[in-house]
Chains A and B, each alone.
Chain A
Amino acid sequence: MHLLEGEGVSRNFGGLAAVADVDFYVDEGEILGLIGPNGAGKTTLFNLISAALKPTRGTVTYEGKEITKLPPHKICRLGIARTFQTVKIFPHLPVVRNVMVGSLFGTGKHMSEAEASRKAEEALDFVSLTSLKNVPAGDLTLANQKRLEVARALATEPRLLMLDELMAGLTHTEIDEAMGDIAQIRSSGITVIMIEHVMHAIMNICDRIIVLDHGRKIADGTPAEIAVNQDVIECYLGQDADSDEDLDDDSDFGDEDHAES
């Protein structure tokens, strides 16, 4: 049994099929990469899994149970945590309180404030934010805000962690650190799905990659297979293959706007 499985997952925005008939799965312990050009439907797919959006068609199954109709907080409590493409922190709350929201409400078990606070500190320690724990979250740098989101997600004790462009906007050093963090998250037993445009990161740490284009799944395989897949190369590079800079463009057209609605 797969940890998470989607069958025929579709979502239309008016006449536009943002995600069309996508089948996918993640197995326990995997790091799954989700890539595709801007507007391919990656974030929409995350939103469908985490119930920020309801699918127009299709089902999502987690640990063998259908979760398609559950509200977001229940999905979180079941063990699916996520971060956001544009960081969504609680800017006026201290860093540690941000993370405590995750440990107090997101684990699905009742936790005393003291326990929740201890869990929050652990998560902060993991992302190396302990020294900033009393700072208002809005005062952090972008890289640290992204770390904070990861800490908040980890504090919910997930089995599956969905990272939406964790590395976008980070420096090379920060990207290397983030890659180390992801590897460590996996070795602590958490399955990871990550949307990413930073190709060397994706190719290095993912066990498997799914490629979306115009809402459809066009490829699914190991990094080595994806790298030589003709459809993928065409969708990224077009026929005349002169614009490979597109790969690093981090504004994912469309998805974010829909997520707000």
Chain B
Amino acid sequence: MNTTTFSKTRIVSLAVLAVIFVVLAILPVITQGYTITLVTDILRYAILAVAWVLFSGPTGYMSLATAAFYGLGFYIAAIANGPLPFALAIIVAGIAAFVVALLIGGLTLRLKGVYFTIFTFAVVLLINNVVLEIERVVTSTRGRFVETETTQAAYWAMFLVAVLTIVVCVLIRRSRYGLALQSIGEYEEAARHSGINVVRTKVLIFAIGSVFMGMAGAIIATRRTYIDPGIAFNLNTSFLPVLMALFGGVSNLVGPVIGAAVFTYLADFLLSTFPDLFMLIFGVVLILAIVFMPNGIIGLAQQVWQKIRGGRRAPA
């Protein structure tokens, strides 16, 4: 790899990151209302997509359990926000998601391929029904009220969790665990026989990703006054981040962030401009994206970049 171009690209991308960071950090100061809500939403999906890619990207284990951890965050917020400070409630949600993910991971990660996917899908339905049943027996109600937070507070929290998610995921990907996950995705049996504790690695990373999903759920819950299992464990939360990640590209972490931003904005724009045709247009866009950008926006960008440079080397 050419070191000079590498460091130049690096400086440029760091500068871009710094600008984005500063703009997002002071956003509630410079604007209010709708923009804040939209960006909170983008950050939420960026967290979910990045956390999903952390585990599912390199390993190829397509998890649909996102809604389970996210919904768990909702319930932790309903129970803990108020009695505990907002920040603490978010942390508790992360811990709860971690513990539940360890259990679910321990059970499901012995399965492979489509079986794993179906099981994680089923887990969401299971938890949904278990919570529904517990509420019926214990509290004789269907839903709960959540102690709300202001738009600004939710934004700050979402921003901080997004930064945390990205930093942790980047560090993990660059660590030895990143290599372990990649090798598991490439050839699990060979990884196992090369000394990798495959089960432990998979379960641990799966659980770490779930922490951020739980945190994002806890924050969003405080923007709803009322939640019930159907809202908390909505299966869209499992599917959308996957689509966004694929839309953006799963080969690195920039892809899911861009995917989440474009996707969320597009959905919002279509929904407000063409409320009746929203699903139709959205579906067509999605199909076109999958057909013409099999490696996501990032993959497309890399192709274009390669053409511009005319070289055969893959960009960093």
| A105–B187 CB distance below 8 A | no
User: Of A76, A90, A102, A107, which contacts B187 at CB under 8 A?
Assistant: A90
Q: Mark A148-161, 1 if CB is under 8 A from B, else 0.
A: 00001100100000
Interface residues of A in 48-105 (CB under 8 A from B): 50, 52, 71-73, 76-77, 81-82, 84, 88-93, 97-98, 100-102, 104-105
Shortest beta-carbon distance from B306 to chain A in Å: 16
Distance between Cα atoms of A153 and B195 in the complex (Å) = 10
Q: Which of B65-73, B133-141, B177-185 contacts A (4 or more CB under 8 A)?
A: B177-185
Distance between Cα atoms of A108 and B197 in the complex (Å) = 11
User: Of B183, B193, B197, B198, which contacts A90 at CB under 8 A?
Assistant: B183
Q: Mark A171-186, 1 if CB is under 8 A from B, else 0.
A: 0000000000000000
B125: CB under 8 A from chain A?
A: no
Q: How many residues of B contact A (CB 8 A)?
A: 17
Knowing A77-B195, A156-B195, the reply to whether A104 touches B179 (Cβ < 8 A) is: yes
Q: How many residues of A contact B (CB 8 A)?
A: 32
Q: Mark B176-205, 1 if CB is under 8 A from A, else 0.
A: 100110110011011111111110000000
Contacts of B187 in A (CB 8 A): 88-91
Closest to A152 in B: B194
| B194–A113 CB distance below 8 A | no
| A102–B194 CB distance below 8 A | yes
Q: Mark B110-129, 1 if CB is under 8 A from A, else 0.
A: 00000000000000000000
Shortest beta-carbon distance from A99 to chain B in Å: 9
Contacts of B191 in A (CB 8 A): 90, 101
Contacts of A260 in B (CB 8 A): 189
A106: CB under 8 A from chain B?
A: yes
User: Of A76, A90, A102, which contacts B182 at CB under 8 A?
Assistant: A90
| B195–A107 CB distance below 8 A | yes
Knowing A84-B190, A105-B176, the reply to whether A93 touches B195 (Cβ < 8 A) is: no
Distance between Cα atoms of A73 and B200 in the complex (Å) = 11
Contacts of B197 in A (CB 8 A): 71, 73, 105
| B195–A73 CB distance below 8 A | yes
Distance between Cα atoms of A84 and B195 in the complex (Å) = 15
Knowing A73-B198, A113-B176, the reply to whether A101 touches B183 (Cβ < 8 A) is: yes
Distance between Cα atoms of A107 and B179 in the complex (Å) = 16
Q: Which of A90, A101, A107, A113 has the most CB of B within 10 A?
A: A101
Shortest beta-carbon distance from B193 to chain A in Å: 5
Distance between Cα atoms of A52 and B182 in the complex (Å) = 20
Closest to B251 in A: A92
Shortest beta-carbon distance from B249 to chain A in Å: 15
Closest to B188 in A: A88
Contacts of A152 in B (CB 8 A): 190, 194
Contacts of B186 in A (CB 8 A): 89-93
Shortest beta-carbon distance from A221 to chain B in Å: 30
Contacts of B192 in A (CB 8 A): 52, 71-73
Shortest beta-carbon distance from B221 to chain A in Å: 39
Contacts of B196 in A (CB 8 A): 73, 101, 105-106
A residues whose Cβ falls under 8 Å from a Cβ of B: 50, 52, 71-73, 76-77, 81-82, 84, 88-93, 97-98, 100-102, 104-108, 113, 152-153, 156, 259-260
Can you list 27 A-B contacts with CB-CB less than 8 angstroms, sorted by A residue number?
A: A52-B189, A52-B192, A71-B192, A72-B193, A73-B196, A73-B198, A76-B194, A76-B195, A88-B187, A88-B189, A89-B186, A89-B190, A90-B191, A91-B186, A91-B187, A93-B182, A93-B183, A93-B186, A101-B183, A102-B194, A104-B176, A104-B180, A105-B176, A105-B194, A106-B196, A152-B190, A156-B194
Leading 3 A-B pairs by shortest Cβ distance: A106-B195, A90-B186, A88-B190
